[in-house]
Structure 1
Amino acid sequence: MPPQTVRPPLLHAVGIRVPGLTMTVAIALVATVVGRLVPVLGSALPAVVIGLLVALVRKPGSLLAPGITFSSKFLLQLAVVLLGAQLSLSSIGRVGLESLPVMLSSLVVCLLAAWGVGRMLGVVRDLRTLIGVGTAICGASAIAAVAPVIAAAGADVAYAVSTIFLFNILAVALFPLLGHALGMDAHTFGLLAGTAVNDTSSVVAAAGVFGASALGFAVVVKLVRALMIIPVSIGLSVIEARRDAAGQPLTAGRIVRLVPWFLLGFLIVAVVNSLGVLPPPVHDGAVTASVFLIAVALAGIGLSIDVAALRRAGWRPLTLGAILWVLVTATTLAAIALTTR
């Protein structure tokens, strides 16, 4: 009998992930094509939906599970790191103090309402957190960043992404009409769209419908708003640790260790991008890769969704999303009125 060969651990770890990873990448490629044909959709939602439809036809077996898990966890975190390439300190400075009160007021109102209204509606904690940060910060990207911090279930992530997407579509249709009705100029509408619309594709669509001159400022506001991912995620890490620590003191050292590695990576990439040392091809590649990796990760989440859990969630999360969307819009309009006189 010939001696048995043992595969090196690294090769084994890579090999068992290849089948599932191949499937999630294939779904992400299809979702990317859909997103380019229908830009307002983006690639995140189609990736979740396609993954879910595949899982409904045939639930992925044990052969695919390691790669799907790798996609929905590690690649999701890596995507968050690369999102930092969309930000620079100079762009943050250009937005300045004008947008900060507007963004902070809508953020605080949304997160408080997500906690209070979500509890009143009986929405489970993780789901109301995801819908809250998705509405308050930047849609699917914020959900992607927060999901691993709170160890959210795939069904909760999928429901949150779908809910945020629905109100993004409504915003694209209604916000330009609202802006014209209120007599907003391009700069003011850019501030409204960048603060109250979530995913970048929807911000671009809404600002583009209003007028090309609103587009640049709206996108910068939206990207600066994405920075709120960092303090919110760190705060959630602390809350999760206190809940699980059984009364252990929360020292400064523990707080530092609680900061997720991918958020540090996000900040480092943003700083490096600010220094202008990234060649344009590298910068553009990082931005493109972050969008594609989010699609790959959400394809993995779609493939692993517990459909029964989605049914159990019912109408309450959607109602929460609607209430938060209205509150963020109203708060943004009020803050603009108070700060731009």
Structure 2
Amino acid sequence: MPTRFTPLFSRPTDWLFWLVAGLCLLPIISSPVALIFGVVMASLGWIPDGLKTGPLAKKLLAGSIVALGFGIHLEQAIAASQAGLGIIVVSIFGTLILGWLLTRALKLEHKTGYLISAGTAICGGSAIAAVAPAINAKDQHTSIALATVFVLNSVALFLFPAIGHLLNMSQEQFGIWSAIAIHDTSSVVGAAQAYGDQALMTATTLKLARALWIIPVAFISALLFRSSERRIAVPGFILLYCVAIAIAYLLPQGAPLYELTFHSGKRVLVLCLFLIGCGISAKRLKEAGPKPLLLGIGLWLTISSLSLIYLLSR
């Protein structure tokens, strides 16, 4: 007897889809690879009939962001924010302002441009996931922004350590540079770990400090994109993200559970990126044109080069 779940397994390729989705929950699949798998599935038409990946990805993204809040070490993040407040504030808001200017210059759709700017300014996919509902972005805006950020993010993972060694950067310098100029936290950790233990410690602490700025940036974004018909609303999961940080800080005895929750959230985020990729076909990327990638590259080169010059001149 047919059920409403039958369409999800009506073709042989549907089983392959769910197999890849399951693999995304394992450490063997990285964020950029998951996104690419999703794009390939969409381009080949291997998405199960009746499965709406967009709404599912949104729900999972909200849950994963809350779970990541349990991995924020509040005292370390605040200390890092105080120590590097100047470069954090300048890099975040400088990137957002430059992104706005370049978006207008390129005549790119403004919400797509803003999401790319937010992802570059703070922490890649997590920032885009948090800001998208605050500005009432559509699925296509979010998909294109994530694709742009993660393409550059995967390049940075391999490129940054090579540049660091070429310029003979210290462990501290490289840790700060990677935390400022690489989009996603996972790639920051990966690049810094390849460079050295001290670089890893510096990069992780500073990147977590930057992650705290998701909260004010999401609120400011809601203010900037409000309309006369729509009230300002900070997404509920941002409030739950704050609650998660507070719980981890006030009840440290639950540290093992918090760490498990944090790592589970990271894996669910990878699955989300696979589902988001399923909404990005080659046809959609072609329709978007080169402008999103040009914006992403422009912002990335600017923040990377300026922060590098600043660190080497100190």
Q: If the length of structure 1 is used for normalisation, what is the TM-score?
A: 0.79
RMSD of Structure 2 on Structure 1 (CA): 3.0
Is 1:29 aligned with 2:22? yes
Match of 1:8 in 2: none
CA contact (8 A) 1:105 1:332 kept: no
Match of 1:317 in 2: 292
1:268 to partner: Cα distance:
0.8
Q: For residues 169 and 64 of structure 1, do their structure 2 counterparts lie closer, same or farther at Cα, with a shift above 3 Å needed?
A: closer
Match of 1:332 in 2: 307
1:171 to partner: Cα distance:
2.7
Distance 2:212 2:257 in 1: 21
Q: For residues 16 and 242 of structure 1, do their structure 2 counterparts lie closer, same or farther at Cα, with a shift above 3 Å needed?
A: farther
Distance 1:17 1:237 in 2: 40
CA contact (8 A) 2:125 2:184 kept: yes
Q: For residues 28 and 200 of structure 1, do their structure 2 counterparts lie closer, same or farther at Cα, with a shift above 3 Å needed?
A: farther
Q: For residues 112 and 76 of structure 1, do their structure 2 counterparts lie closer, same or farther at Cα, with a shift above 3 Å needed?
A: same
Match of 1:43 in 2: 30
1:95 to partner: Cα distance:
1.5
Q: If the length of structure 2 is used for normalisation, what is the TM-score?
A: 0.86
Gap regions ≥5 residues in structure 1: 1-11, 246-253
Distance 1:190 1:107 in 2: 17
Amino acid at match of 2:24: A
CA contact (8 A) 1:44 1:140 kept: no
1:94 to partner: Cα distance:
3.2
CA contact (8 A) 1:24 1:297 kept: no
Q: Which moved more, 1:307-316 or 1:128-137?
A: 307-316
1:59 to partner: Cα distance:
6.0
1:71 to partner: Cα distance:
1.8
Amino acid at match of 1:53: V
1:312 to partner: Cα distance:
1.5
Amino acid at match of 1:52: V
Distance 2:30 2:210 in 1: 21
Distance 2:166 2:35 in 1: 35
Q: Deviations over 1:182-236 (max 9, x none)?
A: 5532222211111111212211222123222211111111111111111111111
Q: For residues 175 and 298 of structure 1, do their structure 2 counterparts lie closer, same or farther at Cα, with a shift above 3 Å needed?
A: closer
Aligned counterparts, 1:1-341, within 5 A: 19=8, 26-33=19-26, 36-37=27-28, 43-58=30-45, 60=47, 63-65=50-52, 68-242=53-227, 244-245=229-230, 255=232, 258-277=233-252, 279-305=254-280, 307-336=282-311
Amino acid at match of 2:35: V
Judging by fraction of residues, say which structure has more helix. 1
1:91 to partner: Cα distance:
1.1
Rg larger in structure:
1
Amino acid at match of 1:263: I
Q: For residues 285 and 71 of structure 1, do their structure 2 counterparts lie closer, same or farther at Cα, with a shift above 3 Å needed?
A: farther
Amino acid at match of 2:23: V
1:106 to partner: Cα distance:
0.8
Q: For residues 332 and 231 of structure 1, do their structure 2 counterparts lie closer, same or farther at Cα, with a shift above 3 Å needed?
A: same
CA contact (8 A) 1:168 1:199 kept: yes
Q: Deviations over 1:228-248 (max 9, x none)?
A: 111111111122323644xxx
Gap regions ≥5 residues in structure 2: 10-14
Equivalent residue pairs, number: 308
1:16 to partner: Cα distance:
6.7
% same residue: 31
Distance 1:337 1:243 in 2: 47
Q: For residues 176 and 69 of structure 1, do their structure 2 counterparts lie closer, same or farther at Cα, with a shift above 3 Å needed?
A: closer
